[in-house]
Amino acid sequence: MGNIIYKCLTCGGDLQFSAETQNWQCKYCDDVFTLEQLNEAGRNSVDEQKIDKHVELEGDKNQYQSTDGTVGKDLVQYRCSHCGAEIITDRATAATICVYCSNPIIMTEQVIGDFSPEYVVPFKIDKSKVMDSFKAFSKKPLTPKDFDCEKVVDKIQGVYIPFWLYSGTLTGSIRADGITKSSYTRGDYRITESRHHDVFRDGFLSFEKVPVDASNKTDDAAMDSIEPYNFEEMVPFNVGYLAGYLAERYDVDKDTCLKRADERIVNTGKDELLKTCQYDDIELKSYNHELDIQKAEYALMPTWLLYTKYKDKDYFFAMNGQTGKFIGNLPVDYLKLVLYSGVPSILLFIILLFIL
């Protein structure tokens, strides 16, 4: 399998996509180039028949051979065209970074044909800002002192996560019991009366680009939590955006992901219909709907991820690489927790000693 390296027009060094400048920057001479400049130089036109002279393509098609001679079904082997090191990774990896020379590598066979994305949302937040956010997040009163944030934070990686984006229409109708309440005073009693109303609503919902992550490696709830992405900044896919980041290709197809999309769209339609019912309380009796998925598009979304361990427990941090919205969990020092929760009692005890 081949890999691509983008070379600097000035010094020939390796280029990486810069989230800060939204252009491609040389890590050796710091020169910056636009996509238009790279296009003019012919550095982003790679296919199976013709390789541009400015782009290095190297590698083999051997599967990873395990120590017992068997072929790893989920692992493949690449050769870094910068230092020659052999890189073992899984079949879903579309871009990675060489662990020996830090060279960004794009696996061409993972982003062509059926695996070629239609769109990409480029990174807008660079690693230094993500690291600052994680450091601020980790400085919690109950975080253990021996939790080495400085050591952990460097493990944060920028990863393009594959998503399916669904567009179509939903028609639906609800029947419900609408309840209005009124209260009045009679003598010494406060009386509340409820009136019930038969409610019927129907409507039509047009939706565009409802996202569902298409990677088995990522937690669906975590990816939902760092949404939304601003699709106005989404651009047609170009492999250059992967330079300097990790990337996964989808390993869950659009038909399998459709079930999660259905749930999100159908529930949204129901909620929108219920919002039109202006009653003190509403009890849903029935909800009928018809969903028409007209289009499913493949796109890559920018995400900063950190997986770490502390005392044999897993901890996770994820940030939307476009908006900066993040989620995460941290270890807790339970001794501190006891002390913090006991402070009010201790203070009260001291005050009572002086009073008595």
Each residue's pLDDT tens digit, 239-266? 889 888 888 888 899 999 999 999 999 9
pLDDT higher at 29 or 103: 29
DSSP class of residue 83? T
Q: How is residue 290 written in tokens?
A: 């018809």
The confidence band for 306, taking pLDDT boundaries of 50, 70 and 90, is: confident
Distance of CA 209 to the CA centre of its chain: 15
What whole-number distance in Å separates Cα of residue 139 and Cα of residue 298?
38
Around 108, how many Cα atoms within 13 Å sit in the side-chain half-sphere? 23
pLDDT, average across residues 26-35:
88
> What pLDDT does 340 receive?
63
The confidence band for 272, taking pLDDT boundaries of 50, 70 and 90, is very high
The answer, yes or no, to whether residue 193 has pLDDT greater than 60, is yes
Whether residue 302 has pLDDT greater than 60: yes
- Which helix (H) or strand (E) segment holds residue 166: the answer is strand 157-186
Better pLDDT: 276 or 68: 276
- One-letter amino acid at 320 equals N
pLDDT band at 162 (very low <50, low <70, confident <90, very high): very high
3-state class of 114 per DSSP?
helix
What confidence score (pLDDT) does residue 353 get? 47
**C-alpha 82: how far from its chain's center?**
29
pLDDT of amino acid 202: 95
Residue 178 CB: number of other CB atoms within 10 A? 16
Separation of alpha carbons 145 and 216, rounded Å: 34
Q: Residue 201, Cβ neighbours under 10 Å: how many?
A: 16
* Residue 307 and residue 113 in contact, taking contact as beta carbons nearer than 8 Å: no
Q: Among residues 113, 120, 192, which one has the least CA distance to residue 160?
A: 120
How does the average pLDDT of the chain come out, rounded?
Answer: 79
Question: Quick one: which H or E segment has residue 198?
Answer: strand 189-213
Q: Does 288 or 337 have the greater pLDDT score? A: 288
Tell whether the model's pLDDT for residue 191 goes beyond 50.
Answer: yes
pLDDT exceeds 90 at position 80: no
Pick 236 or 353 by higher pLDDT.
Answer: 236
